[in-house]
Amino acid sequence: MRIDLSGKTALVTGSTQGIGSAIAAALADAGAQVAVNGRRPEAVDTAIEGLRSAEPARDLIPAPGDVTTEEGAAAVSAALPHVDVLVNNLGIFGSAPALEISDDEWRRYFETNVLSAVRLTRSVLPGMMERRWGRVLNIASDSAIVIPAEMIHYGTSKTALLAVSRGFAKEAAGTGVTVNSVIAGPTHTGGVEDFVYELVDSALPWEEAQREFMLKFRPQSLLQRLIEPEEIANMVAYLSSPLASATTGAAVRVDGGYVDSILP
């Protein structure tokens, strides 16, 4: 199976680190020109430098901007002549007692995790439909289905993202453009390491801390380990390619068997 994105331009939001960086690398390695996004231009430049140092042939361009705002999203879209593959990866998460989450915090999660994706999809989808080809991918989470008691605001925002994906897929019906969400399971990133240490003994070595976290807080995982970002990126690269032309309106799981369901 050869994934070929030559001649395609991809935009990956929140791609200066973690899952987003791994997705940017995978799409670039498949031949796409990839726009790397983050709020700060210097962070974007540093990320591109790191990605190129690993593979100099990667075609990467900077696309800085805060896509959680209308102005930032418009600036990012305007900087690119067109987008063939949009990966709405940007997201925030964190633990908080359910009864202590303020209205402002709920709004912040929806602005970042939902509305940023809506804004950019609304911006690029018409051009994709006119060209009769395009891919929109929203990075969701197992928390969209199995709402964690310690972060219901995060889980609820990701549930909304599944509905957003399905709705925009209907808007693009019959055009050759696909819209899907990727349900990522517990994944090993720097942010997740910090989150793990919020919930388990911070004095534990990382491997022990990870094991305790999975046993206590994610016991449903069939992998029984955190997923590596590259494993999420592999699925995104496939869904971004012509090979996935018949998959749309779907919520595709890369969750390590975390969600206890025989359906996707």
The residues that are catalytic are: 154
Q: Which residues pair with 135 in a beta bridge?
A: 85, 178
In degrees, rounded to 5, the angle at the alpha carbon of residue 224 between the alpha carbons of residues 244 and 114 is: 50
What's phi and psi for 135, nearest 5 deg? -135, 130
CA distance 86 to 63: 13
Closest CA to 119 of 13, 9, 40, 44: 13
Residue 169 has, within 13 A of its CA and on its CB side, a CA count of 19
Containing 85, the helix (H) or strand (E) segment is: strand 85-88
SS (H, E, C) 156-201: HHHHHHHHHHHHHHHHCCCCCEEEEEEEECCECCHHHHHHHHHHCC
| DSSP-derived 3-state class of residue 107 | helix
- Our CA angle for 7, 12, 13, nearest 5°, is 155
